[in-house]
């Protein structure tokens, strides 16, 4: 019997850690699976149709294909609808797909692992793109009070209106204390940090960057220098969202800590 086929789709895709993560999860469960990287050079629709012909049963979707994946699905989870994007495809009969978004659930799992996410915590999200939008509902469901700030204020206000949260301008950031400050921008990928008043970090319990790196990101460095005691990057979120996807496909929730430590040591 051939092992079930899974894949991650995106562009670029060579850097993806997903195959290794899912193989480690499969080892925990004691099953065999095939998990491939598939570069999307044309339309995602064509790539997924070919994947279905090859026998694919589930897939992860990464940048820049999550919105296109959303449009492909005949069924959508509530969190995918809220995010407006899909990072997990589950095959249905007749070559149809159900779409889910596990990014926010992965973030919540990692914040809980770090003992940072408790009912009533005040979370400030920096950024108003897809990464921010995908995590607001899961944070709310976990009991967080969410605030949002973005360099372009109207983008933050649009998300605030959608999710009934508070958008803050730069000048308003100093009027609140936050327990957790999350960088949902891609600034760290270009070696920079969002422009933020350093004082907001003084009373924060955790500064969290969704980007992961071998060394502290510029955002994490800014937070530490500004008095925040604890910082973390997004590697735990990556493993967490993969664990939730794995559970959707296999009905088995893997131990993310074990895999996270392996990745950290590499």
State yes or no: cis peptide before 64, omega within 30 of 0: yes
Identify whether 53 is a catalytic site residue: no
Closest CA to 197 of 229, 166, 222: 222
State the catalytic residue, choosing from 37, 45, 66, 122.
Answer: 66
Structure tokens at 127: 């950024």
- Return d(Cα 201, Cα 101) in angstroms, integer: 29
Three-state DSSP state, 91: strand
- Return d(Cα 204, Cα 57) in angstroms, integer: 42
How many helices (H) and strands (E) would you count in the chain?
10, 12
Please give the angle made by the CA atoms of 97, 98 and 104, to the nearest 5 degrees.
Answer: 135
Closest CA to 134 of 63, 188, 184, 186: 184
State yes or no: cis peptide before 12, omega within 30 of 0: yes
- Return d(Cα 8, Cα 76) in angstroms, integer: 19
Q: Hey, which residues are catalytic here?
A: 66
């Amino acid at each position: 019997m051939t092992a079930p086929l899974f894949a991650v789709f995106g562009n670029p895709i060579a850097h993806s850690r997903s195959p290794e993560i899912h193989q480690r999860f499969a080892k925990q469960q004691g099953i065999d699976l095939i998990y491939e990287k598939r570069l999307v050079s044309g339309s995602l629709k064509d790539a997924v149709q070919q994947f279905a012909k090859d026998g694919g049963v589930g897939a992860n979707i990464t940048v820049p294909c999550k919105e296109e994946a959303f449009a492909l699905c005949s069924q959508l989870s509530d969190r995918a609808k809220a995010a407006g994007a899909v990072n997990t495809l589950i095959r249905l009969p007749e070559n149809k797909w159900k779409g889910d978004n596990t990014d926010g659930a992965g973030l919540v799992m990692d914040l809980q692992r770090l003992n940072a996410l408790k009912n009533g915590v005040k979370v400030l999200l920096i950024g108003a793109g897809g990464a921010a939008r995908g995590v607001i509902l899961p944070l709310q469901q976990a009991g967080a009070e969410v605030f949002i700030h973005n360099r372009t204020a109207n983008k933050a206000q649009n998300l605030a209106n959608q999710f009934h949260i508070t958008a803050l301008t730069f000048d308003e950031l100093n009027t609140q204390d936050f327990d957790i400050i999350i960088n949902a921008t891609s600034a760290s990928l270009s070696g920079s940090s969002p422009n933020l008043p350093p004082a907001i970090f003084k009373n924060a319990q955790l500064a969290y960057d969704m980007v992961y790196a071998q060394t502290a990101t510029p955002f994490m460095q800014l937070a530490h220098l500004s008095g925040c005691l604890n910082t973390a990057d997004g590697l735990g979120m990556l493993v967490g969202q993969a664990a939730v996807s794995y559970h959707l496909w296999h009905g088995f929730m893997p131990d993310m800590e074990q895999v996270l430590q392996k990745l950290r040591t590499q």
